[in-house]
Chain A
């Protein structure tokens, strides 16, 4: 390869088509299996499949798990609190994207 040629890395897009097992999700996010299991029990995440062994998480869960983990660690928020914060953050994002629509509701 010549030095003047720039190669660009092709990443894998973690989108809704990507599925994580519990172990994969924990590795990618840095959260512990125990934490994620507690958040699932609170309804903060809704994996397909019955039971932790069979769970399949959507790729979109990665960002939420990262957020959840930061909040749990930095602010010592317990699982019900995490579930609430994630819901509220979703709502805030939606309001920001469509302020006018939200006002007329």
Chain B
């Protein structure tokens, strides 16, 4: 088991007041909230911060944590001193952060029995099982064509003793053609088991797209930057454009400016109606790295009475 420095995680000194702790938590929770943040590790950081706050905001748990001493380094192998929690009756009353606290070894070992009603849960599932949610990342290509994917999910399960373990399972799921990021796929009966005779809950998979080096997605519309030579933009050209569903031939009209958006109607994500594919022209200058090339630029300079800053200083 590794020691975790909850003060360091929140960027606080050990002498921090309860107000300091709350302020630091709020600030970091906003920064790393997975629904808001685009940090790559937002989800993990948010959980870590939530876990630290879960302990430090509660005077009981904080005192118990402080009792373990401050000589530990984060990540150091750690055994709690014997009877470290002697005399602490954890009331189990929880905070209300709802932060989806990570089921971390360290936290579990120290405070596992003191947690309970802290986790998010579905509201009104009195009889039937709870509806579960999970996020799934797919490739943009999958939305164009549909796909079959194996998805592994981890679910915390509370046993009769109140211990929490992670249970994993694999689901084979058909990704329907035309799915958009943010849409949910509802799998009936794949959620939480029912208590008694009720029906099992449903599983909702929220679909997201993996970052693509080339395509950007907005609803069903997809856009990409297409590099073109200055003469292709100026004189027009036929260019092969990659799309998530294969290559198409496109006409770059004569006299196109850099940044011009050309629309390939219906070449976005399929649907009724399908999205469009926007091709944004990016003019790339050839380097003047040989005498011939430099001479060609010089010919251009003489051929044009061109002032790119004609309206710049106005």
Contact of A13 among B35, B121, B183, B188 (CB under 8 A): B183
Q: What count of chain B residues pass the 8 Å CB interface test?
A: 49
Q: How many A-B residue pairs have CB under 8 A?
A: 112
A104 pairs with B188, CB closer than 8 A = no
How many residues of chain A are within 8 Å of chain B by beta carbon? 38
Q: Which residues of A contact B280 (CB under 8 A)?
A: 100
Q: Report which B residues bind A (CB closer than 8 A).
A: 26, 29-30, 33-36, 50, 96-99, 120-125, 131, 133, 148, 171-174, 176, 178-180, 182-188, 190, 202, 204-206, 216-218, 221, 223, 259, 261, 280
A94 to B216 Cα, complex, angstroms? 10
A11-B173 contact given A30-B131, A59-B183, CB 8 Å threshold: yes
Given contacts A11-B205, A74-B98, A75-B33, contact A60 B182 (CB under 8 A): yes
- Do A97 and B216 have beta carbons less than 8 Å apart? yes
User: Is A26 a contact partner of B123 (Cβ separation < 8 A)?
Assistant: yes
**Chain A positions near chain B (C-beta within 8 angstroms):** 6-15, 23, 26-28, 30-32, 59-60, 62-63, 66-67, 70-71, 73-75, 85, 89, 93-94, 96-98, 100-101, 104
Are B123 and A31 interface neighbours, CB within 8 A? yes
A-B pairs with lowest CB-CB distance, top 4: A97-B218, A11-B185, A73-B98, A14-B184
Q: State which of A6, A74, A96 has its C-beta within 8 Å of the C-beta of B99.
A: A74
Which residue of chain B has its CB nearest to the CB of A70? Answer: B35
Dominant secondary structure at the A interface: helix
Is the Cβ of B184 less than 8 Å from the Cβ of A27? Answer: no
